[in-house]
């Protein structure tokens, strides 16, 4: 199985077996050709192979006649901010985010700072597959320059206009944050200092060597939990390596499933009549929260590009999904874990509530997530075959397959970033959820197609 | 037959920017090189060409992908990279330079362990690896970090200063004009000469890679330098090529001494202090042999190509050597490579030690005049003609390692078939114009038969 995925989430793959300098150059050349000159901002996370991809991409753009602004190691919200801020024509985020070690990804960003939409990406991929790239003669090649040294400050200024920083500072809060040794450590510390919150940072060196599974899941939160209680911190956070996904540990030491990140934020953030965008496999808790605040919920396909695109299209105030990602319509056209931090800190400060109290307000269900390894083509066949299996459920195939019963639901989808089927089951009780997950997995495994 | 402006051969890879010499191709070649040298450190330098940074990124991406540690030394002379390979015990070096070719060209020069260019057999092995479709890319955990070394030229400078008497040169207070050709010598030449106590007038010092004169340092391209030497009343003028391995001398009268005489002057000085064997290629003036004979030393000839000269020098323990036709001076006490800086230091040291002007020194060396012609001739006939002439002129000390060289007491001739066109080149030198014209006419006629 070729460990490579090219699609709505850009180009993602395993270094060496799939991600090679040649492939990265072809993809970057496609972007450069698509832009026909112009300026690209490039940012990278701390993964060790990101340096190789970074060099390959810049070389390709210069050859296409594009000027390059090199942001070096920077988090994904900073890059979403920087592309329009620096009036660039596009951006590229090089980084593996939540992927396991040995993987990496190239994610194109449009001039408005959002990930490429489906239409833009299709055009880019047509050029990529045709492999007829623009190459300029020696006196027309592009030039590169570093990003302005204070651009992170402009980002923080922008972020702080969205928050009541005085209220946060006055509350004298403390938090524990785990940056997974990714690109968020530096900006995270500056943010904490700016809003006057005492932060105990762990795994905040930009070493690129993953201290734990980079998906912010409850099992990744062990280190935060171990210091949160003795230090009596007010809240804990676990981030992925590019600050696009967050999971939360409350003051009582409870690790919330990453499913609840968007719900907890929504519960603090939404107002009557606002719009919220999510996908087809995010917890029912979010529906309940939206209803509680009189907000409308809109659903779209899984993937940052779809969710953010829909958020912009609807003028929605909030968007997010069950992977722990949240975007804010009035702030940035991309996921931003720093804003998640800010909104929760502000809510704690203004409501005078602990994070455990905020979490206790959420109507809970039980979610079980499983991965089923399979090739992409096989995944589609399996999902088609499964469609008629539950005649008593309401079936929705807007994105993958979703079966809804009165007390729960099952969602199955071929991942856009890895060769797996992602299964999410939500039920009122854990036993029921586990039982259903087992049943579906069994069905898939026995299925001969 | 379709042709592209690209040459991948045992001499490396060379082409014009914006044509077939894509970053992807350069990365591919660097990848093969990284595999060939077995990973480890590889020193990467470049000349000032505008396409240099682009190809440097490509080379870095390629090297990283096979587990090498690229050590970037920036814009430096070619010999700096060669000495850095030796100094840093690197497994190899890559110089991104098209040497004396115009700005639209670029190429890679490939250096093996201990800082010597790959020889013909090694280059053929590398090419064989490059031609195969499979690459041994390494996984992310085997990646090594990129390193940058500032001031790499200091390594070269230290080595040169260790071998010459700086005090003597400083005492002579020479006035020197240097034409850097806007190349890799430009950032260093003025300071280098000033450290030797010279008063320096420098030309073409901008390092933007726009060559303000034709880059080959031959008489017709260095008229600005000649004028400057006269106008500024300099004792001597030097001209470099874009990667600063070649050096050409201009006398105080503003007349170029000729690229043939760089190695002759170096030999005159070195042999007068430390007699020993001399090695030059067959394209080198008879004056070199005359100087060697004066000091009772033996001159050895090799085929054209720096690596051929270097190999022979190391084999027999030569004390000095080089290439007449290209202004190449090799002084192995510093490093067995062509180096314009070593060449300048040796010639200045000679002037200072002898308290003589360049003109006075040249009085003791025979001055030959040269002439040449191209004779249309098919390759098979060329081989036949060379064979016939070798037999016919058996008493003129025929050397047949690369074409045919014949030597008489007062003149010599070199007959070589071109690699690229169906022609034979006749080149001759003699003590007077009449004799040299007669020789060229005679051999043109003999090949024509």
Of residues A410, A373, A372, the one with CA closest to residue A280: A410
Gyration radius of chain B's alpha carbons: 22
- Tally Cβ neighbours within 10 Å of residue A162: 16
A4 in B contact zone (CB under 8 Å): no
Is the CB of residue B39 less than 8 Å away from at least one CB of chain A? no
Inform me whether the C-beta atom of residue B395 falls under 8 Å from chain A C-beta atoms.
no
Distance from CA of A14 to the nearest CA of B (A): 8
What pLDDT does B2 receive? 56
| pLDDT beneath 50: ranges in chain A | none
Q: Select from B15, B23, B70, B211 the residue whose CB has the most chain A CBs within 10 Å, as the one to mutate to test that interface.
A: B23
Cβ <8 Å between B140 and A58: no
**Inter-chain CB proximity A63 and B145 less than 8 Å:** no
**Closest alpha carbon to A263 in A324, A352, A311:** A324
| Rounded Cα–Cα distance for residues B394 and B389 (Å) | 8
* pLDDT tens, N- to C-terminus, chain B (449 residues): 456 677 887 777 899 999 889 999 999 999 999 999 999 999 999 999 999 999 999 999 999 999 999 999 999 999 999 999 999 999 999 999 999 889 999 999 999 998 999 998 999 999 999 999 889 999 999 999 999 999 999 999 999 999 999 999 999 999 999 999 999 999 999 999 999 999 999 999 999 999 999 999 999 999 999 999 999 999 999 999 999 999 999 999 999 999 999 999 999 999 999 999 999 999 999 999 999 999 999 999 999 999 999 999 999 999 999 999 899 999 999 999 999 999 999 999 999 999 999 999 999 999 999 999 999 999 889 999 999 999 999 999 999 999 999 999 999 999 999 877 889 999 999 999 999 999 999 999 999 87
What's the pLDDT score for residue B353?
A: 98
**C-alpha dist (Å) from residue B319 to B159, B166, B298:** 16, 20, 11
Mutate: best of B48, B54, B146, B211, partner A, most A CBs <10 A: B54
DSSP code string of A217-271: -GGGGHHHHHHHHHHT-SEEEEE-TTSS-EEEE-TTS-B--THHHHHHHHHHH--
Q: What is the pLDDT of residue A449?
A: 53
Chain B neighbors of A70, CB-CB under 8 A: none
- The token duo for A213 is 């599974």
Consecutive H or E run containing A92: strand A90-94
- Residue A33 sits at the vertex; the CA angle it makes with A29 and A36, to the nearest 5 degrees, is 140
> ipTM of the assembly?
0.91
Q: What pLDDT score was predicted for residue A4? A: 83
Buried b (16+ CB within 10 A) or exposed e, B67-84: bbbbbbbbbbbbbbbbbb
Cα-to-chain-centroid distance, residue A242: 8
Q: Is A391 helix (H, G, I), strand (E, B) or coil?
A: coil
Let me know: does A188 contact A202? Beta carbons within 8 Å: no
Locate all alpha helices (DSSP H) within A387-429, ordered by sequence. none
**Could you tell me the pTM of the whole model?**
0.92
How close B422 gets to chain A, by Cα (Å)?
A: 30
Can you tell me the distance from the alpha carbon of B80 to that of B149, in angstroms, rounded to the nearest whole number? 12
Whether B16 and A22 lie within 8 Å, measured CB to CB: no
Chain B residues with CB-CB distance to A51 below 8 A: 64, 143, 145-146
Annotation says B99 is catalytic: yes
Q: Given B51, B65, B99, B340, which residue is catalytic?
A: B99
Q: What is the pLDDT, as a whole number, of residue A64?
A: 97
Closest residue in B to A65 (Cα) is B18
Q: What tokens does A154 get?
A: 């402009």
Q: What is the pLDDT at residue B3? A: 61
Residues of A in contact with B62 (CB under 8 A): 21
Q: pLDDT at position A95, please?
A: 94
pLDDT score at B420: 73
User: Which residues from chain B sit within 8 angstroms of residue A104, using beta carbons?
Assistant: 140
């Amino acid at each position: 199985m070729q460990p490579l995925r090219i699609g709505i989430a850009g180009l993602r793959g395993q270094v060496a077996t799939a991600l090679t300098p040649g492939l990265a150059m072809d993809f970057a050349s496609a972007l450069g050709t698509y832009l026909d000159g112009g300026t690209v901002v490039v940012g990278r996370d701390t993964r060790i192979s990101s340096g190789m991809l970074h060099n390959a991409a810049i070389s390709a753009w210069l050859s296409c006649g594009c000027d390059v602004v090199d942001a070096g190691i920077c988090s994904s919200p900073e890059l979403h901010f920087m592309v329009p801020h620096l009036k660039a024509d596009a951006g590229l985020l090089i980084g593996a985010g939540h992927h396991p070690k040995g993987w990496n990804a190239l994610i194109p960003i449009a001039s408005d700072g959002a990930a490429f939409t489906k239409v833009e990406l299709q055009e880019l991929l047509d050029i990529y597959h045709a492999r007829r790239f623009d190459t300029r003669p020696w006196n027309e090649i592009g030039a590169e320059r570093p990003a302005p040294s204070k651009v992170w400050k402009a980002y923080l200024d922008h972020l702080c206009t969205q928050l009541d920083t005085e209220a946060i500072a006055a509350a004298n809060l403390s938090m524990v944050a785990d940056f997974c040794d990714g690109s968020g450590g530096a900006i995270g510390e500056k943010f904490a200092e700016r809003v006057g919150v005492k932060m105990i940072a762990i795994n905040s060196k930009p070493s690129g060597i993953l201290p734990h599974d980079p998906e912010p899941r409850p099992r990744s939160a062990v280190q935060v939990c171990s210091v949160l209680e003795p230090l009596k911190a007010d809240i804990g956070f676990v981030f992925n390596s590019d600050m696009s996904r967050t999971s939360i540990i409350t003051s009582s030491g409870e690790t919330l499933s990453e499913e609840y990140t968007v719900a907890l934020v929504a519960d603090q953030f939404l107002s009557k009549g606002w719009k919220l965008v999510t996908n087809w496999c995010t917890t029912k808790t979010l529906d309940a929260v939206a209803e509680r605040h009189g907000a409308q919920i809109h659903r779209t396909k899984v993937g940052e590009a779809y969710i953010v695109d829909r958020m912009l299209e609807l003028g929605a105030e909030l968007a997010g999904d069950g992977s722990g990602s949240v975007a804010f319509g009035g702030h940035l056209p991309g996921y931003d874990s720093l804003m998640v931090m800010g909104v929760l800190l502000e809510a704690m400060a203004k409501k005078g509530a602990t994070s455990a109290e905020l979490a206790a307000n959420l109507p809970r269900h039980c979610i079980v997530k499983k991965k089923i390894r399979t090739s992409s083509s096989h995944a589609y066949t399996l999902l088609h075959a499964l469609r008629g299996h539950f005649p008593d459920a309401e079936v929705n195939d807007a994105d993958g397959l979703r079966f809804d019963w009165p007390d729960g639901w099952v969602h199955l989808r071929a991942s856009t970033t890895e060769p797996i089927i992602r299964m999410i089951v939500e039920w009122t009780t854990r036993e029921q959820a586990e039982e259903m997950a087992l049943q579906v997995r069994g069905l898939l495994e026995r299925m001969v197609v | 037959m379709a042709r592209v402006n690209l040459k991948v051969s045992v001499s490396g890879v060379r082409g014009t920017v914006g044509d077939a010499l894509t970053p992807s191709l350069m990365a591919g070649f660097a990848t093969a090189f990284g595999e060939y040298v077995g990973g480890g450190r590889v020193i990467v330098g470049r000349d000032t060409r505008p396409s240099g940074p682009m190809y440097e990124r490509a080379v870095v991406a390629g090297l990283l992908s096979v587990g090498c540690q690229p050590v970037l030394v920036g814009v430096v002379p070619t010999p700096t990279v060669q000495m850095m390979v030796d100094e840093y015990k690197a497994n190899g070096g890559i110089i991104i330079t098209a040497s004396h070719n115009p700005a639209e060209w670029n190429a890679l020069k490939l250096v093996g362990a201990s800082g010597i260019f790959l020889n013909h057999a090694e280059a053929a092995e590398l090419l064989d690896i490059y031609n195969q479709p499979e690459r041994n890319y390494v996984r992310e955990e085997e990646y090594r970090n990129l390193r940058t070394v500032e001031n790499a030229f200091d390594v070269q400078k230290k080595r040169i200063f260790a071998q010459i008497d700086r005090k003597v040169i400083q005492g002579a207070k020479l006035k020197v004009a240097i034409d850097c050709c806007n190349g890799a010598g430009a950032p260093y030449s003025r300071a280098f000469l000033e450290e030797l106590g010279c008063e320096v007038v420098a030309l073409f010092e901008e390092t933007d890679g726009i060559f303000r004169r034709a880059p080959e340092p031959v008489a017709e391209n260095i008229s600005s330098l000649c004028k400057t030497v006269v106008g500024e009343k300099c004792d001597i003028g030097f001209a470099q090529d874009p990667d600063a391995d070649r050096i050409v001398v201009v006398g105080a009268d503003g007349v170029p001494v000729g690229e043939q005489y760089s190695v002759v002057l170096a030999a005159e000085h070195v042999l007068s202090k430390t007699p020993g064997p001399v090695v030059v290629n067959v394209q080198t003036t008879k004056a070199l042999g005359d100087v060697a004979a004066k000091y009772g030393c033996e001159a050895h000839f090799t085929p054209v190509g720096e690596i051929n000269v270097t190999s022979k020098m190391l084999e027999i323990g030569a004390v000095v050597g080089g290439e007449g036709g290209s202004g190449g001076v090799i002084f192995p006490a510093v490093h067995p490579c062509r180096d314009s800086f070593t060449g300048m230091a040796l010639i200045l040291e000679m002037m200072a030690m002898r308290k003589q002007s360049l003109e006075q020194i040249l009085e003791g060396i025979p001055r030959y005049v040269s002439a040449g012609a191209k004779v249309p001739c098919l390759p098979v006939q060329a081989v036949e003609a060379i064979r016939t002439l070798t037999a016919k002129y058996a008493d003129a000390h025929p050397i047949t390692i690369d074409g045919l060289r014949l030597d008489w007491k007062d003149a010599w001739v070199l007959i070589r078939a071109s690699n690229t066109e169906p022609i034979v080149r006749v080149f001759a030198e003699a003590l007077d114009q009449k004799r040299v014209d007669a020789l060229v006419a005679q051999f043109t006629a003999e090949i024509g038969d």
